[in-house]
């Protein structure tokens, strides 16, 4: 989801290649396409990169007018920092709330470790929204929204209660046309499609 959203927010034309991960030939093909076996992977001519942070950095450098990073140096550093924290952290949340855009679990009970991750995410959102006055973390949509969009979806799937400003932010992210397009495509996937759980 994140790599796809980054490309959409950058405004580039791209083709999505979905490789099923449930049979050996497809896994072999994926290994050839991405030697680290990590997805997402972006190929532009002879340039190949994988991982959302690498893709985000490349797109921000190559398409600066897309606004994937704030123009202010202090805000740009903060945006990179929270994106890095989202990319590399929150293991308890990932474990407790696997990504499933089609599911809904009302009254889902979070264990303490996952709740600490949720609390930290809400702290980040509140800090950024207070500083920017919204509607997004840095005023306009940046790479931060691509990084947090899967979390917004998880908060809906697992019925995570949020304070009103954070709930409003979650809803704004999920209402973004790019996010809605991805969700619609995900819902249309076959029910028996296995997903490669490398990044969320």
Q: How large is the average pLDDT for residues 54-65? A: 94
Q: Residue 103 belongs to a domain with what CATH number? A: 1.20.1050.10
φ, ψ at 6 (rounded to 5°)? -60, -45
Q: How large is the average pLDDT for residues 40-59? A: 87
In a domain, 127, yes or no: yes
pLDDT for 37:
54
Task: For residues 98 and 128, state if they share a domain.
Answer: yes
% pLDDT > 90, the chain:
71
Look at 31 and 199; give whichever has higher pLDDT.
31
Task: For residues 144 and 102, state if they share a domain.
Answer: yes
Q: How far apart are CA 181 and CA 16, in angstroms?
A: 13
Chain position carrying tokens 């089609």: 102
Residues comprising the chain, all counted? 200
pLDDT for 19:
63
pLDDT for 191:
65
Task: For residues 22 and 59, state if they share a domain.
Answer: yes
Tell me the two tokens of residue 31: 């290994």
Q: How large is the average pLDDT for residues 29-49? A: 68
Q: How far apart are CA 34 and CA 22, in angstroms?
A: 16
Q: Is the pLDDT of residue 114 over 80?
A: yes
Task: For residues 45 and 89, state if they share a domain.
Answer: no
The range of the structural domain enclosing residue 16 comes to 2-64
């Amino acid at each position: 989801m994140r790599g796809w959203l980054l490309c959409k927010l950058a405004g580039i034309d791209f083709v999505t290649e979905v490789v099923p991960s449930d049979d050996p030939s497809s896994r072999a093909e994926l290994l050839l396409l991405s030697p680290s076996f990590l997805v997402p992977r972006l190929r532009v001519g002879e340039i190949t990169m994988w991982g959302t942070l690498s893709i985000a950095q490349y797109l921000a450098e190559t398409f600066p007018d897309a606004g994937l990073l704030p123009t202010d140096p202090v805000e740009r550093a903060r945006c990179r920092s929270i994106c890095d924290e989202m990319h590399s952290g929150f293991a308890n949340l990932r474990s407790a709330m696997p990504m499933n855009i089609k599911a809904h679990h009302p009254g889902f009970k979070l264990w303490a470790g996952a709740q600490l991750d949720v609390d930290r995410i809400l702290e980040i959102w509140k800090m950024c929204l207070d500083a920017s006055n919204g509607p997004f973390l840095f005023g306009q949509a940046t790479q931060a929204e691509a990084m947090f969009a899967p979390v917004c979806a998880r908060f809906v799937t697992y019925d995570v209660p949020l304070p009103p400003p954070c709930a409003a932010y979650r809803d704004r992210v999920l209402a973004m046309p790019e996010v809605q397009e991805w969700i619609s495509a995900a819902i249309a996937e076959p029910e028996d499609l296995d997903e490669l759980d490398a990044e969320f």
